[in-house]
Amino acid sequence: MANELRDFLTSRRAALSPEDVGLPAATTPRRVEGLRRAEVAILAGVSVDYYVKLEQGRARNVSEQVFEAVARALRLDDAESRYLASLLQPRTAPAVARARPALQSMIRAMDVPAAIHGPHLEVLGINHAGKALLDDFDAMPAADRNTAKWMFLNPRARVVYRDWAEIAADVVAVLRASPVGEELSKIVGDLSTRSAEFAGMWAAYRVSEHQHGVKRFFHEAVGDLRLNWQTLRLPDGLGQTIVIYSADTGSPSKEKLRLLNSWTAQPNGAASRTDSGTVHQES
């Protein structure tokens, strides 16, 4: 945990120059990239010795006032601030075995893609439309039902996402914001040894939270789709979320999504994923 704290704070210091935070520009060569520890201490209003202890994980009972001062000094956004708080006061991730049956029934009743995620991007449930758009996570071994693992280890992800590198970096940033603990260490350790791309993105210490936006998808049956996505956080304290995808009313993607759902619903898998019958492409 001390190493995570040190590396995160070091990475945030490295991302800032004295000019970024209103300090005089350096007049001599700097041995370190970004801000020095002493400069962060000045900006936060704490002693250099205390900040060094904080960065090394040796400071105890960090007050809210000091925490907020350091977050301001390093220009942390809300997600980064919450991540720093989790490093200073680690929280135990709840054990997640499965999603409630009522949640599974709810997403199965939707005609748009939807998936239930656990606190470390575990895929706990996915509906028919979600399988058609992304992949059949239910058919995978339980250990592989994780969005981060799928993104880096399953070739299908690079087909589905037109902007794979951007989306993959976002997934890593969301994983970074998940509860610190044994489960996260297992996922990160596994991916770091099996994917150099993941290891490089993880080392960037980017932190983000899955909220909402627009993504581009591709499916062999219908071509390109442009879909909105929204994350709904469940208020049960288990860290589960539901991600829902939808298309703008009247858009080509709306019709493509309808066709995709209808195509994949054919009995006995009458069509295959590699069939080439497509509707017109979106730019």
Nearest-angstrom CA–CA distance, 85 and 160: 35
206 CB contacts (<8 Å, ≥6 apart)? 169, 172, 173, 176
CA distances, 8 to each of 2, 84, 229 (Å): 10, 8, 29
More confident site: 165 or 21: 165
Provide the percentage of residues in the chain whose pLDDT is more than 90: 64
Would you say residue 283 has pLDDT above 50? no
Cβ–Cβ < 8 Å for 127, 115 = yes
Nearest-angstrom CA–CA distance, 147 and 134: 10
Q: Is 36 helix (H, G, I), strand (E, B) or coil?
A: coil
For residue 215, give the DSSP letter. E
pLDDT digits (tens, 9 = 90+) for 94-148: 666 689 999 999 999 999 999 999 999 999 999 999 999 999 999 999 999 999 9
CB atoms within 10 A of CB 113: 27
Predicted pLDDT at 243? 97
What's the chain's average pLDDT? 87
Exposure string over 15-54, b if 16+ CB within 10 A, otherwise e: bbebeebeeeeeeeeeeeebbbbebbbbbbebeeeebeeb
Predicted pLDDT at 20? 86
Nearest-angstrom CA–CA distance, 28 and 46: 25
Beta bridge partner(s), residue 227: 215
Q: Which residue type sits at 202?
A: W
Please name the residue that has the structure tokens 């603990």: 181
Phi, psi dihedral angles at 215 (to 5 degrees): -130, 150
Predicted pLDDT at 211? 86
2 CB contacts (<8 Å, ≥6 apart)? 56, 57, 58
Would you say residue 270 has pLDDT above 50? no
Phi, psi dihedral angles at 161 (to 5 degrees): -100, 115
| Geometric angle at alpha carbon 193, from 126 and 203, rounded to 5° | 85
Nearest-angstrom CA–CA distance, 116 and 20: 40
Please name the residue that has the structure tokens 């071994």: 141
More confident site: 272 or 105: 105
Q: Which residue type sits at 167?
A: I
pLDDT digits (tens, 9 = 90+) for 22-78: 887 766 777 777 899 999 999 999 999 999 999 988 888 889 999 999 999 999 999
Cβ–Cβ < 8 Å for 83, 176 = yes
Would you say residue 280 has pLDDT above 90? no
Complete DSSP assignment for 119-165:
TTSBEEEE-HHHHHHT--GGGS-GGG-BHHHHHHH-THHHHHBTTHH
Predicted pLDDT at 58? 87
More confident site: 89 or 189: 189
Would you say residue 275 has pLDDT above 70? no
More confident site: 92 or 158: 158
Cβ–Cβ < 8 Å for 17, 34 = yes
* pTM for the whole structure: 0.81
Domains by residue range for the chain, with CATH: 2-88 (1.10.260.40), 101-269 (3.30.450.180)
What would the mean pLDDT of 84-92 be, rounded to a whole number?
80
Nearest-angstrom CA–CA distance, 180 and 145: 19
Tokens of 272: 């295959």
pLDDT digits (tens, 9 = 90+) for 159-215: 999 999 999 999 999 999 988 888 899 999 999 999 999 999 999 999 998 789 999
